[in-house]
Structure 1
Amino acid sequence: MSLRKVLVGGCAIGASLLSGHTFASDRTPTTRLVTAIEACRPIADVATRVGCYDKAVDAMSAATRKGDLIVLDREKVVERRRAQFGLPAQVDAGLGDAGEVQELSTTIRRSSYDQRTNRWTLWLADNTVWTTLEMLRFPPRDNAPLVLRKGVMGAFKGDFGRQVVQVKRLQ
């Protein structure tokens, strides 16, 4: 067995063990805090149940202040992801696919053509700026609808109604 195979195998095993450890430790504080709140529900005595909830909420508040627990509003997550649509991917730890944006419908406010590059620059109603990466058969019209879709491998497509071309966000 060559040294190269041993090193590659060892790195792969180490990476898998490390990543497994990271995911498990990321979920532990949240699970523990939520479990503490859920454990209060079946308590029959009202005063004891309220005391249990107070203790659990105090622990959750302390974890939030320390930064061990982050509470997110789904609407805010979706709003943020819509604003970042088309920009290089940002990793939102622990969010998974919550609020994942696959397409965005907007309107072209104005456009300009660059003869040197044969590309259109598009200023959109959501205050973003995009450029075409392919030739357009028909020039984009101001105030026309535009649907931006996620493509494969980080690419984006702009659907102008009569034609679909690859686009890239500039700002």
Structure 2
Amino acid sequence: MKTTFSAEGRKGWMSLLASASEVRLTELWRDCGADPDCVFLRAPEVGGIMVRGRMGGSGAPFNLGEMTVTRCALSLEDGTVGHGCVQGRSKAKAEIAAKVDALMQTDAAASLRVAVLAPLAAERQAQKDARAAKAAATKVEFFTMVRGED
């Protein structure tokens, strides 16, 4: 199974962490054995953001509704800063996301990529593939038959 692991850049791994399930992220984090000492710049806090949309993707923006998010910012002992922002009210998930973000900017990035990010990316790809296969099963192909009239 191919994994389109676009978490090479910070935007990619932040997206991967934010979309991961809390249970799976916590499990992978615990198993990787990395839990650095850190100082909270912003302790995990729950808040809300306004979600905006555009008709057709290019129309005038409109307020679609509000969404609950939890964010966290922390600094490792070496001064590396990590941020986490996740949907929902999970302070633990936001803290783990911030720690992973900070560690991905250090020498621990390679081992963390293998232990945490690669499994999450593989699971995300498997979910996409399953969804695509389910949609493909409902595909209808139309064809035109010759009517016999000349």
TM-score scaled by length of structure 2? 0.24
Considering only CA atoms, is the larger Rg found in Structure 1 or Structure 2? 1
TM-score scaled by length of structure 1? 0.22
Identify which of structures 1 and 2 has the higher relative contact order when contacts are C-alpha pairs closer than 8 Å and 6+ apart: 2
Larger helix fraction of residues: 2
Larger strand fraction of residues: 2
